[in-house]
Amino acid sequence: MTYDIAIIGGGMAGASLALALKDLPLSIALVEAVPYDSAAQPAFDARAIALAAGSQRILHTMGVWDAMAARGVTAIEHIHVSERGGFGTTRLDAVEEQVSALGYVVEGRVIGAALTDALAQCSNIDLLCPAELTAVQMAGDAADIQLSHGGAARSLRARLLVAADGGRSTVRELIGANTWELDYGQTAVIATVATDRPHGNIAYERFTDTGPLALLPCDPPADGDTALQGCRWSLVWTARDAQTDELLALSDAEFLQRLQQRFGYRAGRFLRTSGRHAYPLVLRFVREAAAERIAFVGNAAHAIHPVAGQGFNLGLRDVAALAQVISCAVARGEDIGSLAVLRDYAVWRRPDYLRTAAFTDGLVRTYSNDLPPLKLVRNLGLLALDALPPLKHLLARQSMGLNGHLPRLACGLKLQVTSDK
């Protein structure tokens, strides 16, 4: 079978890309290894994702936001940044930024349900699932792809192969893509917690000597436990690798007590916690986001620290940019898998990768050194940032994913089969 595009990986990035392309005159195969209704599905798990305002706009223009909102999303109206044991704080505010929300917190399973329901409506997208990529070979005008589909071997050809198969990308491995990687020696422990005080739509980022702690307001989905409405949070607790096993082994009461001690009482008293899940953290980039016949999106292209919740937001901007480059190539009658077309995508994405990595990695490094003079400078920095509106505005634009050369979808404009980029 021959397709215009084969997308390997139907997680948040791969499924979003297929949907972004749904109105173009293209045949698309979306290859996903794990069934969406399986408990082992790795892409739409217990994580809650902070979607930046720019990402919400992309999803809205693609036509999937309303379905997510109906299932349950929580607006972030304020962001509060502080350091444990420090005096400096910075606050970002939606009203000051003249937006209705700085972003939204959405549970992974809500994102998954909205994307997969929308996929089921698309006649030009073949969802091959459970199907796993086993081999790939570039053959001049197409990529030859081998799959194990429901246990049987199957071959596909595609003019363009998109790697959306996540951090442990098989595509990257099979084609020997040049990759740069740094292990943070840190693990993110996530849980859903409840407090005795309403969240007030505030997201907290608190830096501690062992790593950042994020507390995101996260109301239960429409089909969830409404008793927790208004005082439920998604916690991302970054700890050094050596401390992770201990954190995971604590009883719920001990965990809540430890959290209270590290976070303080700004969000109230921690009363309940869900089970905990751990994610080891690395910084990783493919050297080139595209080559002849192939493009990388999402975590297959990059993995960054979850501080400031930027990973999927960066991936969604990949999706919006690649979809636009493809739509322009279709309009001009060009080969969508050619290097000339895909180089535009790689060049476009590079500044955003560098800016976002510098932002997140810079935060992690700045706050992981506990020398007293540095701590003083950091706290003065937070105070200064709070007092300087232009600087704060720049930080807010970066957090909202509204800096740099934005794709049409992030500007609220639909893709067109047009040659304007």
Ligand X SMILES: Cc1cc2nc3c(=O)[nH]c(=O)nc-3n(C[C@H](O)[C@H](O)[C@H](O)COP(=O)(O)OP(=O)(O)OC[C@H]3O[C@@H](n4cnc5c(N)ncnc54)[C@H](O)[C@@H]3O)c2cc1C
Binding residues for ligand X, per CB under 6 A? Answer: 8-14, 31-34, 42-43, 47, 49-50, 132-133, 164-167, 170, 188, 190, 236, 279, 298-299, 306, 309-313, 315
Nearer to ligand X by C-beta: 234 or 324?
234
Report the nearest approach of ligand X to the CB of residue 190 (Å).
5
Give me the least distance between CB of 278 and ligand X, in Å please: 9
Our CB check for ligand X shows the closer of 79 and 330 to be: 79
Q: How far is the CB of 116 from ligand X (least distance, A)?
A: 11
Least distance (Å) from ligand X to the CB of residue 234?
A: 8
**Closer by beta carbon to ligand X, 133 or else 256:** 133
Nearer to ligand X, 89 or 134 (CB): 134
Smallest separation, CB 30 to ligand X (Å): 9
CB of 74 to ligand X, least distance (A): 12
Residue 57 has φ and ψ, to the nearest 5°, of -65, -40
CA-CA distances (angstroms) from residue 218 to 16, 43, 231, 366? 22, 19, 8, 28
Contact 53, 101 (CB under 8 A): yes
In this structure, what token pair is assigned to residue 173? 């491995």
Lookup: tokens for 18: 């297929």
> Environment class of residue 330 by beta-carbon count within 10 Å: exposed (0-12), middle (13-18) or buried (19+)?
buried
* 16 class by beta-carbon count within 10 Å (0-12 exposed, 13-18 middle, 19+ buried): buried
Residue with Cβ nearer ligand X (192 or 375): 192
Helix (H) or strand (E) holding 4: strand 2-8
- Residue 154: burial class (beta carbons within 10 Å; 0-12, 13-18, 19+): middle
- Our CB check for ligand X shows the closer of 51 and 94 to be 51
Pairing relationship of beta strands 211-217 and 202-208 according to DSSP bridges: antiparallel
b/e per residue 361-398 (b: at least 16 CB within 10 A): bebbeebbeeeeeebeebbeebeebbeeeeebeebbbb
The three-class DSSP label of residue 309 is coil
Q: Prior bond to 130 cis, omega within 30?
A: yes
Nearer Cβ to ligand X, position 24 or 43?
43
Give dist(CA 337, CA 133) in Å, integer.
19
Which residue, chain included where needed, has tokens 């089970």?
A: 275
Shortest CA distance to 306 belongs to which of 165, 199, 205? 205
Please state the closest distance from residue 9 (CB atom) to ligand X, in A. 3
- Report the nearest approach of ligand X to the CB of residue 336 (Å): 21
220 versus 306: smaller Cβ distance to ligand X: 306
Closer to ligand X by CB, 11 or 211: give it: 11
Give me the phi and psi of 356, to 5 degrees please. Answer: -70, -40
Q: How many CA atoms within 13 Å lie on the side-chain side of 37?
A: 1
Shortest reach from residue 388's CB to ligand X, in Å: 26
| Identity of the residue, 328 or 399, whose beta carbon is nearer to ligand X in the bound complex | 399
Residue 43: CB minimum distance to ligand X, A? 4
Q: Which residues on neighbouring strands pair with residue 316, listed in sequence order?
A: none
DSSP letter, residue 395? H
**Buried (b) or exposed (e) across 93-129, using 16+ Cβ within 10 A?**
ebeebebebbbbbbbbbbbbbbbbebbeebeebbbbb
Shortest CB 41 distance to ligand X, Å: 7
Nearer to ligand X, 330 or 356 (CB): 356
